[in-house]
Structure 1
Amino acid sequence: MIMPIRQFQAQRMHAPRDFQMIRPEPVCVEIGAGKGKHALLFSTQKPEKQLIAIERTREKYLAMQKQHVVEGQKNLQPIHADAMPWVVHALMPAQVEQFFILYPNPEPHNSAQRWLNMPFFEFLLSRLQVGGTITLASNIAEYIAEAEQQLINIWKLPFVKEVINSTSARTHFEIKYLERGELCQQLIITKPTDYSTRFDDFMPLQGQVVVESIPLQTDLNRGQ
Protein backbone atom coordinates (compact mmCIF):
# COMPACT_ATOMS: atom_id res chain seq x y z
CA MET A 1 0.00 0.00 0.00
CA ILE A 2 1.41 3.41 -1.01
CA MET A 3 1.07 5.99 1.72
CA PRO A 4 0.16 9.59 0.82
CA ILE A 5 3.04 11.97 1.51
CA ARG A 6 2.38 15.45 2.89
CA GLN A 7 4.81 18.31 2.50
CA PHE A 8 7.44 18.58 5.24
CA GLN A 9 7.31 21.85 7.21
CA ALA A 10 11.04 22.50 7.61
CA GLN A 11 10.53 26.12 8.68
CA ARG A 12 8.68 24.95 11.81
CA MET A 13 11.61 22.93 13.15
CA HIS A 14 13.30 24.49 16.20
CA ALA A 15 17.03 23.96 16.67
CA PRO A 16 17.94 21.31 19.29
CA ARG A 17 19.08 22.44 22.73
CA ASP A 18 22.77 23.39 22.88
CA PHE A 19 22.86 23.25 19.10
CA GLN A 20 26.11 24.04 17.33
CA MET A 21 26.71 24.33 13.60
CA ILE A 22 29.12 21.96 11.89
CA ARG A 23 31.65 22.85 9.22
CA PRO A 24 30.18 22.99 5.69
CA GLU A 25 32.27 20.12 4.33
CA PRO A 26 31.25 16.71 2.95
CA VAL A 27 30.14 14.35 5.72
CA CYS A 28 28.57 10.96 6.30
CA VAL A 29 25.67 10.79 8.76
CA GLU A 30 24.30 7.89 10.79
CA ILE A 31 20.79 8.41 12.17
CA GLY A 32 19.90 6.39 15.25
CA ALA A 33 23.49 5.37 15.98
CA GLY A 34 22.63 3.65 19.28
CA LYS A 35 25.72 2.81 21.32
CA GLY A 36 27.89 3.58 18.32
CA LYS A 37 29.13 0.17 17.21
CA HIS A 38 28.75 0.93 13.51
CA ALA A 39 29.91 4.54 13.90
CA LEU A 40 33.11 3.53 15.66
CA LEU A 41 33.80 0.75 13.17
CA PHE A 42 33.09 2.91 10.11
CA SER A 43 35.23 5.82 11.30
CA THR A 44 38.11 3.44 12.00
CA GLN A 45 37.87 1.73 8.62
CA LYS A 46 37.30 4.98 6.69
CA PRO A 47 39.68 7.53 8.25
CA GLU A 48 39.29 9.77 5.18
CA LYS A 49 35.54 10.16 5.85
CA GLN A 50 33.96 12.51 8.39
CA LEU A 51 31.09 10.74 10.20
CA ILE A 52 28.42 12.34 12.34
CA ALA A 53 26.54 9.82 14.51
CA ILE A 54 23.20 11.04 15.88
CA GLU A 55 21.45 9.34 18.78
CA ARG A 56 18.38 10.64 20.60
CA THR A 57 18.41 8.34 23.65
CA ARG A 58 20.71 9.77 26.31
CA GLU A 59 21.85 6.42 27.75
CA LYS A 60 22.88 5.09 24.34
CA TYR A 61 24.52 8.38 23.36
CA LEU A 62 26.60 8.39 26.56
CA ALA A 63 27.72 4.81 25.89
CA MET A 64 28.81 5.83 22.37
CA GLN A 65 30.56 8.93 23.66
CA LYS A 66 32.40 6.95 26.34
CA GLN A 67 33.70 4.42 23.84
CA HIS A 68 34.65 7.19 21.44
CA VAL A 69 36.80 8.78 24.14
CA VAL A 70 38.56 5.42 24.57
CA GLU A 71 39.12 4.83 20.84
CA GLY A 72 39.70 8.45 19.87
CA GLN A 73 38.67 8.55 16.20
CA LYS A 74 39.19 12.16 15.11
CA ASN A 75 36.84 11.77 12.16
CA LEU A 76 33.80 10.84 14.32
CA GLN A 77 31.46 13.33 15.96
CA PRO A 78 28.73 11.85 18.22
CA ILE A 79 25.64 14.06 18.50
CA HIS A 80 22.93 13.81 21.17
CA ALA A 81 19.79 15.10 19.45
CA ASP A 82 16.56 14.29 17.69
CA ALA A 83 17.65 13.69 14.09
CA MET A 84 14.95 15.68 12.30
CA PRO A 85 15.53 19.17 13.74
CA TRP A 86 19.28 18.57 13.84
CA VAL A 87 19.40 17.68 10.14
CA VAL A 88 17.25 20.71 9.25
CA HIS A 89 19.45 23.16 11.14
CA ALA A 90 22.91 21.62 10.73
CA LEU A 91 23.23 20.30 7.19
CA MET A 92 23.69 22.22 3.97
CA PRO A 93 22.07 21.20 0.68
CA ALA A 94 23.95 18.33 -1.01
CA GLN A 95 26.46 18.07 1.85
CA VAL A 96 26.07 14.40 2.77
CA GLU A 97 27.96 11.61 1.01
CA GLN A 98 26.19 8.77 2.82
CA PHE A 99 23.30 8.39 5.23
CA PHE A 100 23.05 5.25 7.36
CA ILE A 101 19.70 4.23 8.88
CA LEU A 102 20.41 0.81 10.37
CA TYR A 103 17.57 -1.18 11.96
CA PRO A 104 15.22 1.72 12.71
CA ASN A 105 12.09 1.30 14.80
CA PRO A 106 9.62 -0.41 12.43
CA GLU A 107 6.74 1.57 13.97
CA PRO A 108 4.29 -1.37 13.83
CA HIS A 109 1.39 0.75 15.10
CA ASN A 110 2.13 3.91 13.12
CA SER A 111 3.30 3.20 9.59
CA ALA A 112 3.32 6.92 8.74
CA GLN A 113 6.41 7.24 10.97
CA ARG A 114 8.49 4.85 8.87
CA TRP A 115 11.31 6.66 7.13
CA LEU A 116 10.16 6.42 3.53
CA ASN A 117 6.56 7.23 4.49
CA MET A 118 7.51 10.50 6.20
CA PRO A 119 7.47 13.93 4.51
CA PHE A 120 10.89 14.46 6.13
CA PHE A 121 12.42 11.94 3.71
CA GLU A 122 12.19 14.55 0.95
CA PHE A 123 14.23 16.97 3.07
CA LEU A 124 16.77 14.23 3.76
CA LEU A 125 17.18 13.76 0.02
CA SER A 126 17.90 17.48 -0.40
CA ARG A 127 20.92 17.13 1.91
CA LEU A 128 22.34 14.20 -0.09
CA GLN A 129 24.96 14.72 -2.80
CA VAL A 130 24.32 13.60 -6.36
CA GLY A 131 25.58 10.02 -6.42
CA GLY A 132 25.31 9.84 -2.63
CA THR A 133 23.63 6.90 -0.95
CA ILE A 134 21.22 6.07 1.84
CA THR A 135 21.65 2.64 3.45
CA LEU A 136 18.46 1.39 5.10
CA ALA A 137 18.74 -1.96 6.91
CA SER A 138 16.06 -4.03 8.64
CA ASN A 139 15.34 -7.55 9.82
CA ILE A 140 11.65 -7.13 8.95
CA ALA A 141 10.85 -8.27 5.42
CA GLU A 142 7.61 -6.28 5.27
CA TYR A 143 9.45 -3.08 6.19
CA ILE A 144 11.93 -3.55 3.35
CA ALA A 145 9.17 -4.51 0.89
CA GLU A 146 7.14 -1.39 1.73
CA ALA A 147 10.24 0.81 1.40
CA GLU A 148 10.91 -0.71 -2.04
CA GLN A 149 7.42 0.21 -3.19
CA GLN A 150 7.78 3.75 -1.88
CA LEU A 151 11.06 4.14 -3.75
CA ILE A 152 9.45 2.93 -6.97
CA ASN A 153 6.10 4.68 -6.75
CA ILE A 154 6.67 7.85 -4.72
CA TRP A 155 10.34 8.80 -4.63
CA LYS A 156 11.34 7.39 -8.04
CA LEU A 157 14.84 6.53 -6.84
CA PRO A 158 17.21 3.77 -7.97
CA PHE A 159 18.20 1.24 -5.35
CA VAL A 160 19.82 -2.13 -4.82
CA LYS A 161 18.45 -4.68 -2.35
CA GLU A 162 20.99 -6.88 -0.61
CA VAL A 163 20.83 -9.76 1.84
CA ILE A 164 23.20 -9.01 4.72
CA ASN A 165 25.87 -11.63 5.23
CA SER A 166 25.45 -13.81 8.31
CA THR A 167 28.91 -12.81 9.54
CA SER A 168 28.15 -9.07 9.49
CA ALA A 169 28.37 -7.32 12.86
CA ARG A 170 27.78 -3.61 12.28
CA THR A 171 25.34 -3.03 15.13
CA HIS A 172 24.27 -4.81 18.30
CA PHE A 173 20.83 -5.37 16.75
CA GLU A 174 22.38 -6.87 13.62
CA ILE A 175 24.46 -9.30 15.65
CA LYS A 176 21.40 -10.38 17.65
CA TYR A 177 19.15 -10.82 14.61
CA LEU A 178 21.72 -12.78 12.61
CA GLU A 179 22.53 -15.04 15.57
CA ARG A 180 18.82 -15.89 15.69
CA GLY A 181 18.98 -16.85 12.02
CA GLU A 182 16.73 -13.97 10.93
CA LEU A 183 16.87 -12.58 7.42
CA CYS A 184 18.50 -9.14 7.47
CA GLN A 185 18.30 -7.02 4.34
CA GLN A 186 19.33 -3.56 3.23
CA LEU A 187 18.45 -1.11 0.51
CA ILE A 188 21.25 1.00 -0.96
CA ILE A 189 19.44 4.05 -2.37
CA THR A 190 21.27 6.37 -4.78
CA LYS A 191 20.49 9.99 -5.65
CA PRO A 192 20.74 10.38 -9.44
CA THR A 193 21.86 13.37 -11.47
CA ASP A 194 19.17 16.07 -11.94
CA TYR A 195 17.09 14.78 -9.02
CA SER A 196 15.59 17.78 -7.25
CA THR A 197 13.39 18.47 -4.23
CA ARG A 198 11.49 21.45 -2.87
CA PHE A 199 14.22 21.96 -0.26
CA ASP A 200 17.29 22.21 -2.47
CA ASP A 201 17.60 25.94 -1.68
CA PHE A 202 16.75 25.68 2.02
CA MET A 203 19.66 26.95 4.10
CA PRO A 204 20.24 26.15 7.81
CA LEU A 205 19.14 28.66 10.44
CA GLN A 206 17.15 30.82 8.05
CA GLY A 207 13.91 32.11 9.47
CA GLN A 208 11.75 30.75 6.71
CA VAL A 209 11.76 28.98 3.39
CA VAL A 210 9.43 29.61 0.48
CA VAL A 211 7.81 26.41 -0.70
CA GLU A 212 4.77 25.83 -2.84
CA SER A 213 1.87 23.80 -1.49
CA ILE A 214 1.49 21.52 -4.48
CA PRO A 215 1.25 17.72 -4.59
CA LEU A 216 4.44 15.73 -4.20
CA GLN A 217 3.83 13.80 -7.41
CA THR A 218 4.05 16.95 -9.54
CA ASP A 219 6.66 19.12 -7.87
CA LEU A 220 9.61 16.77 -7.67
CA ASN A 221 11.93 16.59 -10.62
CA ARG A 222 13.17 13.05 -10.26
CA GLY A 223 15.77 13.08 -13.00
CA GLN A 224 13.88 10.81 -15.32
Structure 2
Amino acid sequence: MSLGNVQLKKICWNRPSNAASQHSRQITRLYCQPPTPHVDRPMSSTIVRRLLSTDQRRLAAHFQRLDRHSLHARFGAGISPYRASLYADSVFTAEALVYGAFPDGCLRAVAELRPLPNAWPKRAEAAFSVEPRWQGRGIGDRLMHRVLTVAQNRGIRELHLLCLPGNLRMQNLAQKHRARLHRLPGQVEAHLTRPFPTPFSITQEMAGEYRALADAMFQWRR
Protein backbone atom coordinates (compact mmCIF):
# COMPACT_ATOMS: atom_id res chain seq x y z
CA MET A 1 0.00 0.00 0.00
CA SER A 2 1.48 3.31 -1.01
CA LEU A 3 1.57 6.59 0.87
CA GLY A 4 0.04 9.30 -1.27
CA ASN A 5 2.40 12.05 -0.14
CA VAL A 6 5.59 10.00 -0.20
CA GLN A 7 5.31 8.05 -3.43
CA LEU A 8 8.53 7.98 -5.37
CA LYS A 9 7.81 9.90 -8.53
CA LYS A 10 11.14 9.99 -10.29
CA ILE A 11 12.62 6.52 -9.88
CA CYS A 12 12.06 3.56 -12.13
CA TRP A 13 13.47 0.15 -12.93
CA ASN A 14 16.87 1.52 -13.90
CA ARG A 15 19.72 -0.89 -13.53
CA PRO A 16 21.93 0.25 -10.64
CA SER A 17 25.62 0.95 -11.13
CA ASN A 18 28.30 -1.52 -10.12
CA ALA A 19 28.98 0.50 -6.98
CA ALA A 20 25.28 0.48 -6.12
CA SER A 21 25.07 -3.27 -6.67
CA GLN A 22 28.09 -3.82 -4.43
CA HIS A 23 26.52 -1.61 -1.77
CA SER A 24 23.30 -3.63 -1.98
CA ARG A 25 25.18 -6.90 -1.54
CA GLN A 26 26.96 -5.48 1.51
CA ILE A 27 23.65 -4.53 3.11
CA THR A 28 22.27 -7.97 2.28
CA ARG A 29 25.20 -9.72 3.94
CA LEU A 30 24.93 -7.58 7.08
CA TYR A 31 21.20 -7.31 7.57
CA CYS A 32 19.53 -10.10 5.57
CA GLN A 33 19.16 -13.58 6.90
CA PRO A 34 18.48 -16.27 4.30
CA PRO A 35 14.79 -17.08 3.78
CA THR A 36 13.61 -19.23 6.63
CA PRO A 37 12.78 -22.71 5.27
CA HIS A 38 10.08 -23.29 7.88
CA VAL A 39 7.64 -20.39 7.90
CA ASP A 40 4.88 -22.35 9.61
CA ARG A 41 5.88 -21.08 13.05
CA PRO A 42 3.07 -19.46 15.08
CA MET A 43 2.62 -15.76 14.31
CA SER A 44 1.83 -15.17 17.99
CA SER A 45 5.60 -15.22 18.57
CA THR A 46 6.16 -12.39 16.08
CA ILE A 47 7.76 -9.34 17.64
CA VAL A 48 6.32 -6.01 16.47
CA ARG A 49 8.21 -2.90 17.53
CA ARG A 50 8.86 0.66 16.50
CA LEU A 51 11.79 1.10 14.15
CA LEU A 52 14.31 3.85 14.81
CA SER A 53 16.99 5.50 12.72
CA THR A 54 19.40 2.81 13.92
CA ASP A 55 17.24 0.33 11.95
CA GLN A 56 17.77 2.15 8.66
CA ARG A 57 19.92 -0.59 7.13
CA ARG A 58 17.51 -3.28 8.26
CA LEU A 59 14.73 -1.36 6.51
CA ALA A 60 16.84 -0.99 3.36
CA ALA A 61 17.56 -4.72 3.38
CA HIS A 62 13.84 -5.45 3.78
CA PHE A 63 13.02 -3.34 0.71
CA GLN A 64 15.71 -5.18 -1.26
CA ARG A 65 14.05 -8.50 -0.47
CA LEU A 66 10.72 -7.41 -1.97
CA ASP A 67 9.94 -8.71 -5.45
CA ARG A 68 8.69 -6.57 -8.32
CA HIS A 69 5.03 -7.12 -7.48
CA SER A 70 5.50 -6.29 -3.80
CA LEU A 71 7.47 -3.14 -4.62
CA HIS A 72 4.77 -2.00 -7.02
CA ALA A 73 2.11 -2.63 -4.40
CA ARG A 74 4.07 -0.72 -1.74
CA PHE A 75 5.14 2.34 -3.73
CA GLY A 76 2.43 2.49 -6.37
CA ALA A 77 5.08 2.58 -9.11
CA GLY A 78 7.62 0.27 -10.68
CA ILE A 79 10.98 0.82 -8.98
CA SER A 80 14.06 -1.29 -8.44
CA PRO A 81 14.90 -2.86 -5.08
CA TYR A 82 18.00 -0.68 -4.89
CA ARG A 83 16.02 2.52 -5.48
CA ALA A 84 13.50 1.40 -2.87
CA SER A 85 16.31 0.84 -0.37
CA LEU A 86 17.38 4.46 -0.88
CA TYR A 87 13.92 5.51 0.26
CA ALA A 88 14.80 4.08 3.66
CA ASP A 89 17.16 7.03 4.14
CA SER A 90 14.22 9.45 4.19
CA VAL A 91 11.70 7.48 6.23
CA PHE A 92 12.86 8.31 9.73
CA THR A 93 11.65 11.87 10.19
CA ALA A 94 10.10 13.63 13.13
CA GLU A 95 6.62 13.05 11.70
CA ALA A 96 6.75 9.44 10.55
CA LEU A 97 6.19 6.46 12.82
CA VAL A 98 7.60 3.21 11.43
CA TYR A 99 6.92 -0.27 12.83
CA GLY A 100 8.45 -3.59 11.90
CA ALA A 101 7.53 -7.25 12.36
CA PHE A 102 10.19 -9.83 13.24
CA PRO A 103 8.67 -13.32 12.94
CA ASP A 104 12.04 -15.09 12.81
CA GLY A 105 14.38 -12.50 14.30
CA CYS A 106 14.67 -10.69 10.96
CA LEU A 107 12.67 -7.70 9.71
CA ARG A 108 10.06 -9.19 7.36
CA ALA A 109 7.25 -6.60 7.26
CA VAL A 110 7.01 -2.84 7.75
CA ALA A 111 4.22 -0.36 8.39
CA GLU A 112 4.66 3.39 8.03
CA LEU A 113 2.30 5.91 9.65
CA ARG A 114 2.66 9.51 8.55
CA PRO A 115 0.38 12.19 10.03
CA LEU A 116 -0.94 14.77 7.58
CA PRO A 117 0.17 18.32 8.48
CA ASN A 118 -2.41 20.94 9.45
CA ALA A 119 -5.28 18.44 9.27
CA TRP A 120 -8.25 18.71 11.60
CA PRO A 121 -9.48 16.40 12.85
CA LYS A 122 -6.07 14.77 12.89
CA ARG A 123 -5.53 12.45 9.92
CA ALA A 124 -2.70 10.20 8.78
CA GLU A 125 -1.69 7.96 5.90
CA ALA A 126 -0.32 4.46 6.27
CA ALA A 127 1.58 2.03 4.03
CA PHE A 128 2.53 -1.62 4.45
CA SER A 129 5.05 -3.99 2.93
CA VAL A 130 5.45 -7.71 3.60
CA GLU A 131 8.12 -9.90 2.05
CA PRO A 132 6.61 -12.34 -0.49
CA ARG A 133 7.54 -15.46 1.45
CA TRP A 134 5.75 -14.16 4.53
CA GLN A 135 2.56 -12.87 2.95
CA GLY A 136 -0.75 -14.43 3.89
CA ARG A 137 0.49 -15.57 7.31
CA GLY A 138 -1.05 -12.90 9.53
CA ILE A 139 1.94 -10.55 9.82
CA GLY A 140 0.09 -7.75 8.05
CA ASP A 141 -2.79 -8.14 10.48
CA ARG A 142 -0.41 -7.83 13.45
CA LEU A 143 1.08 -4.66 11.98
CA MET A 144 -2.33 -3.21 11.14
CA HIS A 145 -3.50 -3.75 14.70
CA ARG A 146 -0.41 -1.98 16.08
CA VAL A 147 -0.72 0.94 13.66
CA LEU A 148 -4.39 1.43 14.54
CA THR A 149 -3.54 1.44 18.24
CA VAL A 150 -0.68 3.89 17.75
CA ALA A 151 -2.89 6.20 15.67
CA GLN A 152 -5.61 6.10 18.32
CA ASN A 153 -3.14 6.95 21.10
CA ARG A 154 -1.92 10.00 19.19
CA GLY A 155 -5.36 11.41 18.65
CA ILE A 156 -5.53 10.54 14.96
CA ARG A 157 -9.21 10.23 14.10
CA GLU A 158 -8.95 9.25 10.42
CA LEU A 159 -6.51 6.84 8.79
CA HIS A 160 -6.15 6.64 5.01
CA LEU A 161 -4.58 3.85 2.98
CA LEU A 162 -4.08 3.68 -0.78
CA CYS A 163 -3.62 0.45 -2.69
CA LEU A 164 -3.79 -0.83 -6.24
CA PRO A 165 -7.10 -2.29 -7.47
CA GLY A 166 -5.50 -5.72 -7.79
CA ASN A 167 -4.16 -5.75 -4.24
CA LEU A 168 -7.11 -7.71 -2.85
CA ARG A 169 -5.12 -8.97 0.14
CA MET A 170 -4.66 -5.47 1.52
CA GLN A 171 -8.23 -4.51 0.72
CA ASN A 172 -9.48 -7.52 2.65
CA LEU A 173 -7.17 -6.68 5.54
CA ALA A 174 -8.48 -3.12 5.66
CA GLN A 175 -12.07 -4.30 5.57
CA LYS A 176 -11.33 -6.76 8.36
CA HIS A 177 -10.57 -3.70 10.49
CA ARG A 178 -13.83 -2.00 9.43
CA ALA A 179 -12.43 0.23 6.71
CA ARG A 180 -14.63 1.88 4.11
CA LEU A 181 -13.31 1.33 0.59
CA HIS A 182 -13.62 3.93 -2.15
CA ARG A 183 -12.71 2.82 -5.65
CA LEU A 184 -10.97 5.54 -7.64
CA PRO A 185 -9.36 5.47 -11.10
CA GLY A 186 -6.25 3.32 -10.76
CA GLN A 187 -6.40 2.90 -6.99
CA VAL A 188 -8.53 2.02 -3.99
CA GLU A 189 -8.64 4.25 -0.93
CA ALA A 190 -9.47 2.83 2.49
CA HIS A 191 -10.77 5.04 5.31
CA LEU A 192 -10.61 3.96 8.95
CA THR A 193 -12.04 5.95 11.84
CA ARG A 194 -10.33 5.75 15.21
CA PRO A 195 -11.80 6.46 18.66
CA PHE A 196 -10.17 8.61 21.30
CA PRO A 197 -7.33 7.11 23.36
CA THR A 198 -8.24 4.93 26.32
CA PRO A 199 -6.19 3.53 29.20
CA PHE A 200 -6.52 0.13 27.55
CA SER A 201 -5.18 1.30 24.16
CA ILE A 202 -2.24 3.06 25.81
CA THR A 203 -1.45 -0.05 27.86
CA GLN A 204 -1.61 -2.17 24.70
CA GLU A 205 1.01 -0.06 22.95
CA MET A 206 3.30 0.06 25.99
CA ALA A 207 3.04 -3.69 26.51
CA GLY A 208 3.98 -4.35 22.91
CA GLU A 209 7.08 -2.19 23.13
CA TYR A 210 8.14 -3.69 26.47
CA ARG A 211 7.78 -7.17 25.02
CA ALA A 212 9.97 -6.22 22.08
CA LEU A 213 12.58 -4.76 24.43
CA ALA A 214 12.61 -7.89 26.56
CA ASP A 215 12.98 -10.08 23.47
CA ALA A 216 15.87 -7.95 22.19
CA MET A 217 17.67 -8.26 25.54
CA PHE A 218 17.11 -12.03 25.52
CA GLN A 219 18.53 -12.33 22.01
CA TRP A 220 21.54 -10.17 22.95
CA ARG A 221 22.38 -12.39 25.93
CA ARG A 222 22.22 -15.63 23.91
Structure with bigger helix share is 2
- The alignment's TM-score, normalised by the length of structure 1, stands at 0.38
- The alignment's TM-score, normalised by the length of structure 2, stands at 0.38
